[in-house]
Structure 1
Amino acid sequence: MIHTTIRPTVSPQTITKVTRLFNGTIEDILNELLQNSRRAGASWIGIVHETNDLGTSIMVSDNGSGVADPAQMLALGDSGWGADIAEAEDPAGMGVFSLAGKETTITSRSADFDKGWTASIPEDGWTGEQDIAVRAIDVEIGTTIRFFMPGLTAQCAARIVKEVCKFYPIPVIANGCEVPREDFLAKAVHVARWNGSWIGVFEGHEYHSEPTVNFHGLLLKRKLAGVSETLGGKHYHAQLDIGATPDLALVLPARKEFVQNDGLTALLAAARRTIFEAIAAKETHRLSYDDWKAACDLGVEMAEAEAVLPVWHPRAAEHDQLKVDYTEIPCGENAIRVEEFEPAIGQALGRALRDDMCRHRLVESHAEYSGYAWYDRLHQLGNVRFYIEKGEARHIVAENGSFPSLGEHIVADRVELRYCIYHQLTEYEKEHCREADVAFSVNEDGWYSGVEQIRIAFVPNDTLVPEVLAELIEDVCFCASDDSEADSWETQHEHFMRDARELAAEVLLGEEEAIASRIRDTVGGILWVLPKDRSVTITINPAKEIAVTFSQAGE
């Protein structure tokens, strides 16, 4: 037969699978029982746990409203809570079934009755296939549930009780002592009320192992929102302390994650806005322009990011090894931001401008600030080229290569630096020229191929000595390989610097000095074996025979 209408139903066989609804962990059980006690209006909860060789017996008691009908307490999906609780928290009527599969005794009395009731449920009594005896009993108003956890040690039980009660809103007395409780948002730098709950803003990154949501003591690990400032600024993330916010629903039965609904979407937007509100309350900030614009679009008013940028230093091939102090300066009208150049161009530019009057005005470009009025007003330095003259030959070295190619190292008659200072908003542009003493060209993949790929054009002078040139070669070329088969960073760097010193000596002083540099590096590696009070003379004849003689120091 084909029905004309249908509706969802719950199969009677569902109750037979109830033992699979929860993991059956002590954390799950205590969380569910504590939530039931809170909903029942309890002002205190008592937990007693006693351990023997087989495990731990746990008794949870409260002074809440109690349960009038024992049958309703064991009715899967029928919470029995009043309209206020049902609207605020969406109880599922499944909490007590976290005990499914465990021998349990439940005792309760409602304020509406002079007597209470008690029922003992065996391990196999949760599937609805047998009757559970209920008898009347004289007992105080409230509910007590006793169950046994096989294999649970006393130490583990005490630790878990402490963790479960840490952010619980009601006092809990465990084995005679009140369990310490904390405010979930105590360490927040900013707290805002939202739809009956509270959003807290914290400094730092959230960790996957740490909870971000507190549902009356039940903790969830769900990323809500995070915002990072730029240029070494702080990171902020949001956490949520849930109160009475019915639009937020948790996935049943364990309530370990949110249901994807409009309430969650609104929460995520509110969390991000709250972070912006916290940042707006500071004197200054370092938000990217896009984040600042997003904050403004959300109605959060704040000034533009602090007009500060790092002092410009030429980029090195290996960023982590930049050998300069990080310094920031305020960016007034005279500041000039520098494009990010490849190391071969940037290092030569930095050397050529080391004594220039404009050097102290140069700051790093920071693309994340593009859009801020103060940032867009800054002049820029770009279009850097080196013009090299050697007799009749002419070469130009720029960001896109060398034209014509530097086929070999060149002792140049002249190296001229040319660059432009321009302003995009006003279309201002002016070319500047300055004498330079060195330029570099690196072939493709040169960073990973050693010093063989670099070509140097230079004008001899007293300041460009082998030590200086070797450091420039390092900054232009050296980038250690992180391949699993590669040597350590220290070994790669040692080998590279040996080659760099040899190349610098050969380029500046000639082949013999390059050989001498290699010999000095080689001998330098074994200085530790030489006597401290002796001089050593090493002689190598054309037959490559090596003679080593010792003498007293000073002879």
Structure 2
Amino acid sequence: MSDAQTLMARVSDTALQKVTRLFNASIDDIIAELLQNARRSGATEVAIDTIDDPDLGAAIQFRDNGPGLADPQSLLTLGASDWTHDMQANEDPAGMGFFALAGRHARVIAQKRGTQTAYVLDIAPTALSGDVPITCKEIARDETGVTVIFAQLPSENVAAAARTAARYALIPVLLDGHPVDREDYLDGAAHIEEWKGIRIGVYRDRDPKYHHHHSNANFHGVTLTVPLPHLSQVNHVSFHAVIDVQSCAALQLVLPARKDVVRNAFLVDLQQEIMRIYFRMLKDQGQHSLRFEDHQKAKALGIELLPAMARLRQFSPAHADPDSNIYTELMPLSDDAMVFAGAEAAVDEQNFARALAATGQGASVFDPQPAFVGYDWYDALPVLEVTGYALAIGETQTVYSVGGAPPIIERPDRLLVTGKLQSGRDIAPWEAETDLILFAEADATLIDEAVLCLTPTSPATHNDLVTFFTNALFAPCYDADAGSYDAQLQWFTDEAEDEVIRYLSTLEEVHLHQVERVIRRELWWILKTTSDIAIRIKGSEVQIDGLETAFARSAGEPATA
């Protein structure tokens, strides 16, 4: 066997030739990167001007008032920089920013640090790829800082790029002699804390300023979106974090684009600290409606919180069309409070709601909240579950399970909703008498898929029953060829009306109602309510008497004798 070799990682000579792929040479990237370089050098101001250069034509001039360059080679060495030791420790700069100019014709005039001479570099579009040499002259010139002049491409919006780069920058920027507006990245935050060189701002979802953010992290003027945790509550506002990095080399950006953050151990620590901030805010607030699992997360992070507020929404039945659901106000729990376990179908919740209203116990029944399972107060609540329905005709009583349906029969003497009430390990039967039950499978949406049962003494009117059918079964279809919502609702209620009349009366009355409905919709709107019209249909002939008089009255003309 041969002796072992010692190998070292290195950068391929061809890597430099691909430098134009590291950045897209956009005006946004160039100004952002040059601004970062200026700030790191110690500059306290930057001026950006659009000029007409004798060599480059339409050009952009970027000037800073920093100390200049100690060695121009550091500007042209990919991955190298001559930042101070403190800057290296605080930010972990990569030495790639100047290469954002790759593919552009540029000129650099930089003060030779600590002298009254200047470096002048003429950089061809392919020079930063290593294809052609770059000439660097040293001239006697009292220059301040670094000036970069580069060719402007057609349709580039320099003002927009400057505003974006300067908006959250730490140093002021002048654009064609005018200051560019800057603002605090955490403006409008409900709470701000500093942690390991990072300002952490917490926004609530109702804070208007939060919704202005298109990112959640500011790295010295470069904004991006990083994976920061948020905290939701069941009945209260949610919390979201936004960070403003001040001096923290441990939070690193993915190179070379610097558009994402490195998923390292420090990021995990940051995410946990943000959660601690959320939980501390809630502890100071005193009341919350956290999910039980989040309550336990707070405990694991060393923050003891009170249980979530013992408030629930009073039971309100689901509708077949979810957009029609009614959400009640949060209420404190009564001594006899119980939780309705819910039902698979809206029709069963509607049946239960009508029966519950007849018992007078409606104020004691609350909607379930699975997020609270685990809190002692919630787990102690009795749970009411509907299991079936009972029909009594004379002395005979028949029980049907939820989802089952009886054959079409005569109107029953009595109707019952049956169920069980479980409190801990104790289970007790529960029942409530009602006057109306609509039997249907869980996925039923059509009138003919349901069986209506109504007691003879029910006070329900035609309109009550049509409304009940609609709440329990009507689920609009959103296919393009299904008709508008209003049209679908009209078709459904028309059919429901016919079914209700057939159930309560006769088929003849259904037909009479259908004719009347057509006349009211298609003819009534053009006539006065005082019209006296007779319609006679014989075979295929239709004869209408009084129509001419009605139209004359509608037009305000005197009726003829």
Compute the TM-score of the two structures, normalised by the length of structure 2: 0.89
For 2:254 and 2:3, locate their aligned partners in 1 and report how far apart those are by CA, in whole Å. 34
Q: Distance in 2 between matches of 1:314 and 1:444?
A: 15
Deviation at 1:356, TM superposition (A): 2.5
Find out whether 1:463 has 2:459 as its counterpart: yes
Correspondence for 2:471 among 471, 475, 494: 475
Q: Any stretches of 5+ residues in structure 2 without a counterpart?
A: 554-558
CA distance in 1, matches of 2:246, 2:111: 28
Q: Does 1:438 align with 2:436?
A: yes
Contact between 1:55 and 1:151, CA under 8 Å: does it hold in 2?
Answer: no
- Alignment match, 2:220: 216
Distance in 2 between residues matched to 1:528 and 1:192, nearest whole Å: 69
Counterpart secondary structure, 2:152: strand
- Between the aligned partners of 1:409 and 1:111, the Cα distance in structure 2 is 101
Please give the per-residue CA displacement for 1:336-386, whole angstroms capped at 9, x wherever unaligned.
221112222221221122242311112111111111222222222223432
SS at match of 2:35: helix
Question: In the alignment, what sits opposite 1:506?
Answer: 502
Offset of residue 164 of structure 1: 1.0
The alpha-carbon deviation at position 258 of structure 1 amounts to 1.2
Deviation at 1:113, TM superposition (A): 2.8
Q: What amino acid maps onto 2:412 in structure 1?
A: A
**Within 5 A, what are the aligned runs for 1:79-158?**
79-128=81-130, 129-153=132-156, 156-158=157-159
- Unaligned segments of structure 1, at least 5 residues: none
Between stretches 527-536 and 80-89, larger displacement belongs to 527-536
Distance 1:395 1:50 in 2: 92
Structure 2 equivalent of residue 250 of structure 1: 253
Which amino acid is the alignment partner of residue 336 of structure 2?
N
Letter matched to residue 134 of structure 1: K
Letter matched to residue 419 of structure 2:
Y
Deviation at 1:414, TM superposition (A): 1.5
Does residue 414 of structure 1 match 2:448? no
The CA deviation at 1:11 is 2.3
State the alpha-carbon separation in 2 of the partners of residues 137 and 2 from structure 1. Answer: 57
Asked if 1 retains the 8 angstrom alpha-carbon contact of 2:321 and 2:471, the reply is yes
RMSD (Å) for aligned C-alpha atoms: 2.8
Residue identity (%) = 28
* TM-score (normalizing by structure 1): 0.90
The structure 1 residue matched to 2:378, chosen from 366, 375, 380, is: 375
1:131-183 CA-partner distances (Å, limit 9, x unpaired):
41322232244222111222145xx2112211110000111122222211111
For 1:445 and 1:538, the matched residues in 2 are separated by: 45
Change (3 A) 1:330 1:389: same
1:416 CA drift (Å): 2.4
Give the aligned partner of residue 170 of structure 1: 171
* Structure 2 residue 186 is the aligned partner of structure 1 residue 185: yes
Match of 2:314 in 1: 311
Distance 1:445 1:393 in 2: 30
- CA change 1:7–1:208 in 2 (3 A) is farther
1:131–1:498 CA distance, 2 compared to 1 (3 A) = closer
Secondary structure of the corresponding residue to residue 287 of structure 1: coil
Distance 1:291 1:126, change over 3 A: same
Task: Name the SS for the 2:128 alignment partner.
Answer: coil
Which sits farther off after the overlay, 466-475 or 531-540?
531-540
Map of 2:389 onto structure 1:
386
SS of equivalent residue, structure 2 residue 285: coil
2:481 maps to 1:488 = no
2:180 equivalent to 1:203: no
Alignment of 1:232-251 (within 5 A): 233-251=236-254
More moved, 92-101 vs 13-22: 13-22
Q: Report the residue type matching 2:44 in the other structure.
A: S
The range that moved more, 70-79 or 517-526, is: 517-526
Distance 1:444 1:421 in 2: 22
- Given candidates 493, 514, 517, the residue that maps to 2:513 is 517
Q: Which moved more, 1:261-270 or 1:499-508?
A: 261-270
- 1:160 is matched with 161
Matched residue, 2:332: 330
Query: Residue 392 and residue 542 in structure 1: after superposition, are their counterparts in 2 closer, same or farther (change >3 A)?
Result: farther
Question: How big is each residue's C-alpha offset from its partner over 1:106-141, in whole Å with a ceiling of 9 and x where there is no partner?
Answer: 122244334232222222332333241322232244
Shift in CA distance, 127/430, structure 1 to aligned 2, threshold 3 Å:
closer
Please give the residue correspondences for 1:443-458 in structure 2 after superposition, counting only pairs within 5 Å. 443=441, 445-447=443-445, 450-458=446-454
- Distance in 1, matches of 2:392 and 2:529, equals 51
CA distance in 2, matches of 1:381, 1:520: 45
**SS at 1:15's partner residue?**
helix
**Kept after mapping to 2: 8 A contact 1:37/1:62:** yes
Tell me the secondary structure at the aligned position of residue 518 of structure 1. helix
Map Cα deviations across residues 523-552 of structure 1 (whole Å, 9 max, x no partner).
Answer: 232145532154254545685754433277
Does structure 1 conserve the Cα–Cα contact (< 8 Å) formed by 2:466 and 2:500?
Answer: yes
Correspondent of 2:79 among 66, 77, 80: 77
- Quick one: distance in 2 between partners of 1:480 and 1:207? 33
Answer whether contact 2:536 2:542 (CA < 8 A) is retained. Answer: yes
**Paired residue type of 1:143:** V
Superposed displacement of residue 227, structure 1: 2.2
Correspondence 1:33-72 to 2 at 5 A: 33-50=34-51, 56-72=58-74
Name the CA distance, whole Å, in 1 between partners of 2:442 and 2:350. 17
**Separation in 2, partners of 1:545, 1:423:** 70
Tell me how far 1:218 sits from its aligned partner: 0.5
